[in-house]
Amino acid sequence: MSLILPFQHLHFVTISTQRRVELDDDALMQMAEAWPNLSYLSINYTKGWEGLPKTSLQVVRAVLNKLTQLHTLRIAVNVRSISAEDLVGESGGRSSIDKPFNSSLLDSAIGENIHEIAAFLANEFPRMGYPGSTDYSWVV
């Protein structure tokens, strides 16, 4: 991973491998900090992550706030033991993405906390699902 981080001007990154994805929150934040112009990030979208993801919804919020040009994010997250309080975070529930956005969270680990996850997604992407908002999509 450290070999590709120096490419600061990347806009489009697709990682597709037959191997298990072992990225965690720190690695995802390193990518966001190293590639400030990133508009598209897809990690094993067609192959799957094969195992419990080590990334969280909290880091998704941080990545979205850091990468202002990002319009597509395809990763897996582990949200099995997350609570509503965890999802509010530092923003106090006021963070949101108000631009066309495509997000896929396939292969994510979800527990019994579906309402909390839905609340997080609705807070982060308030225009998704509104009439006329065809430039938005979720895949969960």
DSSP string, 48-99: ---S--B--HHHHHHHHHH-TT--EEE---EETT--HHHHHGGGTT-----S
Q: Is residue 6 part of a domain?
A: no
The helix/strand/coil state of 94 is coil
What element of type H or E holds 30?
A: helix 25-34
Q: Is residue 129 part of a domain?
A: yes
Q: Is residue 73 part of a domain?
A: yes
Query: Which range marks the domain in which residue 68 is found?
Result: 12-139
Assigned token pair, 79: 């949200």
Q: Is residue 114 part of a domain?
A: yes
Least confident of 46-55, 56-65, 88-97: 88-97
Domain count, the chain: 1
pLDDT at 37: 95
Residue 92 has pLDDT above 50, yes or no: no
Q: Is residue 2 part of a domain?
A: no
